[in-house]
Structure 1
Amino acid sequence: MVLAHGFPDTSAVWDGVARRLAERFHVVRYDLRGFGGSEAPRDVDGYAVGWLVEDLAAVVEAVGGPVHLVGHDWGSTQGWVAVAERPDLFRSFVSISGPDLGHVGSWVRRNRWRPVKVAGVVRRSWYILGFLVPVAPELVWRVPAVRRMLHAGRRELVNGLGLYRANVGRRAGSARTSGKGATAGPKRVSVPVHQVELTADPYVVREHLEAAEPWVEQLTRSTVHAGHWAVRTHPEQVARHIEDAIDGRHGRRLVVVTGAGSGGGAVGRTLADGGAQVVGADVADRAAAQAFADDVSERYGVPEVVVANVGPHVGADWREAVDAKLWGVANVVRAFAPLMVERAAGGHFVVTARRDGTARHAHATTKTALRMLIRCLKGELRPHGITVSLIFPDGGTVTEDVVRAVNARRRGYP
């Protein structure tokens, strides 16, 4: 496996990810030209993407490829060109926060009649205009506080400007169309590609990722609730997503349905018919809920969606009503929420509670308590990209309401 870093990092940014992956793979990292221990080209044109691809190909050939490629930022941007032009060198490609420049250009042209949408994406790259201005950014890089904020050395910051000046704007034309470093427009990618979406990334958003869709034959995507430098701040989670991508575990979303004997079975079957991998069970208490969560995590992974389905309580005992309708939900959430938070991939809890035929006072009390519980959970889990929905379906619409809530979240962001 080869890991390619971006601006303004060195190969050291992969330290945490590499340690985790090295338990299974032979991991190779290298410094891009002008970064870390690598020599810098003599002029700006030496940073053209075509030259970066030549360097990457040389590394892969020295390793004895083909390899699994993982790229972040400019390491990913060059990776797109590499897997398109030299598919023989790569088994798979994991792209993290680094779109193909040609894909983005094509996306902008396809959406030229939607200026508001295009402007919303383009404004994310405001900083690039500053990088293209002569001298000014070099002066900014002299400020120690700026370098500390970016976790970067002045050499990497100064040399890294060449990546933008050689590949963005007017100068990029000559750099890409002359010499060995030349590259053509975007090409179809036959290598399996997985995109890791960083939901708190201020620079790369969903549209940047979607720009690749017309160009990739095999494309999957997953999310990590983290910022642009997730490879440094969330190495365990990033490494796990890389492994899952290589193992092909991102093709179907995992949905857990509890209360399978109280109407949850129909919910599970409908979601499974829609392509989800569904695991269902009835859990009676906190210990059972925790054991179920541990078993699901070990056998299938951490779910994207957990549906806590609470059926109608037909008895008159208040304790039974509270245990079933309130503590049953709380136990399921307490069992799965830590797993979802630790995975940092976001997620969705859907809680359903149907109206009782009897025990009206108990129903009203648990309904009010559930509303407050869900309100608190929303506040606690929102920072982790996990959403919470509460549904009180009327009549026989529980399945339709739950599926609608699950799919609405699926189409949304994150």
Structure 2
Amino acid sequence: MRTDQRICSVERDGLVFDVLDEGPMDGEPVVLLHGWPERATVWRHVAPILNTAGYRTLAMDRRGFAPGARPKRRRDYRLPVLIEDVAALIDEVGGSAHVVGHDWGAAVAWAVAGHRPERVRTLTAVSVPHPAAMMKAMVKSDQLKKSYYMLLFQLPFLPELVATRRAEWFDVQLLKGGMSREDVARFRREIVEDGALSTSIGCYRAMFLTDPRVLRFRVSAPTTMVWSTKDVALGRWGAEHSGEWVDASFELVVLEGTSHWIPTQEPDVLADAILRRVRG
């Protein structure tokens, strides 16, 4: 494990990913992966709790979000590429780590655990289920209806135009989905004003460029799935069936009455779930 200095950034394929490295340098590393439309700062309430418990946290601005990692092509955001971005960070801290992800960060975390199992000590996936369970949920439940926005994001230019020229309407949709006004304002600062809006959607626009076989993997790491009942984007079916793809201990944690934005709205509960897993 690299304990001689803080990791402020990681380079891969000519791109630079910013990293928030906090907590005791010799603590077990916990990699924190954010979703959309947020950045590494989404872990600002969770990381201190993990740090106090003795863990070193590394929250990375993912591809499309970090100022030095915003390629323009859709194919640069395929899932196998996103996996290697995280693997590069884990290599910087000794080659293995506990991995936690929320939203798109959870989708990537699942994939890292499945395709790079030697790098993942434990997995905590927040909100988003195993990709194969997600695909099944599209036909077994109302998940397809909940995921309509993913199809809208495939359209060129339109999502960006709506988010900027109809900013008030767009922000209201985030508020209706449970995001706080503080975090909507943060979205405006860290995503829109910082120039990351179009590239941050890259992960959605590359969805259909990824071979579906890449999604059908098994996970050997002990895993916790955290899901909330007021999540307007992710239904219960995928969360409940994610354990079918895990060949180790699996726990489903259901947060009653909480929206999709678990890291900022229930940081204490989420941190407890993470600590139970990494200590287990």
How far does residue 38 in structure 1 lie from its aligned partner after superposition?
A: 3.8
Q: Residue 39 of structure 1: which of 62, 69, 85 is its match?
A: 69
How far does residue 213 in structure 1 lie from its aligned partner after superposition?
A: 2.6
* C-alpha distance in 2 between matches for 1:166 and 1:104: 17
Is 2:235 the counterpart of 1:221? no
Higher relative contact order (CA 8 A, sep 6+): 2
Is 2:91 the counterpart of 1:51? no
Alignment of 1:9-408 (within 5 A): 9-23=38-52, 24-108=54-138, 117-118=140-141, 120-142=142-164, 143-145=166-168, 146=170, 149=174, 150=184, 151-152=186-187, 153-154=191-192, 155-167=195-207, 172=208, 175-177=209-211, 184-217=214-247, 218-225=249-256, 226-248=258-280
How far does residue 106 in structure 1 lie from its aligned partner after superposition?
A: 4.0
How far does residue 103 in structure 1 lie from its aligned partner after superposition?
A: 2.8
* C-alpha distance in 2 between matches for 1:144 and 1:188: 41
Give the equivalent residue in structure 2 for 1:260: none
How far does residue 48 in structure 1 lie from its aligned partner after superposition?
A: 0.8
Q: Which structure has the larger Rg over C-alpha atoms?
A: 1
How far does residue 147 in structure 1 lie from its aligned partner after superposition?
A: 5.1
Report % sequence identity: 30
How far does residue 165 in structure 1 lie from its aligned partner after superposition?
A: 1.2
Closer, same or farther in 2 for the Cα pair 1:37/1:20, shift >3 Å? farther
Give the equivalent residue in structure 2 for 1:258: none
Task: Report Cα offsets for 1:12-40 as digits up to 9, x if no partner.
Answer: 01111011111120111110011044421
Closer, same or farther in 2 for the Cα pair 1:126/1:176, shift >3 Å? closer
Q: Is the 1:199–1:227 Cα contact (8 Å) retained in structure 2? A: yes
Unaligned stretches of 5+ residues in structure 1: 249-414
* C-alpha distance in 1 between matches for 2:61 and 2:81: 14
Q: Is the 2:129–2:238 Cα contact (8 Å) retained in structure 1? A: yes
Q: Is the 1:4–1:70 Cα contact (8 Å) retained in structure 2? A: yes
Q: Is the 1:201–1:228 Cα contact (8 Å) retained in structure 2? A: yes
How far does residue 246 in structure 1 lie from its aligned partner after superposition?
A: 2.3
* C-alpha distance in 2 between matches for 1:10 and 1:33: 10
Q: With the length of structure 2 as denominator, give the TM-score of the two structures.
A: 0.76
Closer, same or farther in 2 for the Cα pair 1:185/1:240, shift >3 Å? closer
Q: Is the 1:31–1:38 Cα contact (8 Å) retained in structure 2? A: no
How far does residue 92 in structure 1 lie from its aligned partner after superposition?
A: 0.2
Task: Report Cα offsets for 1:272-296 as digits up to 9, x if no partner.
Answer: xxxxxxxxxxxxxxxxxxxxxxxxx
* C-alpha distance in 2 between matches for 1:107 and 1:205: 8
* C-alpha distance in 2 between matches for 1:183 and 1:43: 22
Q: With the length of structure 1 as denominator, give the TM-score of the two structures.
A: 0.52
How far does residue 104 in structure 1 lie from its aligned partner after superposition?
A: 2.1
* C-alpha distance in 2 between matches for 1:58 and 1:183: 23
Unaligned stretches of 5+ residues in structure 2: 1-29, 175-183
How far does residue 107 in structure 1 lie from its aligned partner after superposition?
A: 4.9
SS of structure 2 residue aligned to 1:92:
strand
SS of structure 2 residue aligned to 1:16:
coil
* C-alpha distance in 2 between matches for 1:105 and 1:234: 27
Equivalent residue pairs, number: 230
* C-alpha distance in 2 between matches for 1:185 and 1:129: 18
My pick for the range that moved more, 97-106 or 196-205, is: 97-106
RMSD over equivalenced CA pairs, Å: 2.0
Amino acid aligned to 2:217: K
Q: Residue 7 of structure 1: which of 22, 36, 46 is its match?
A: 36
* C-alpha distance in 1 between matches for 2:123 and 2:109: 8
* C-alpha distance in 2 between matches for 1:232 and 1:21: 14
Which structure: greater helix fraction? Answer: 1
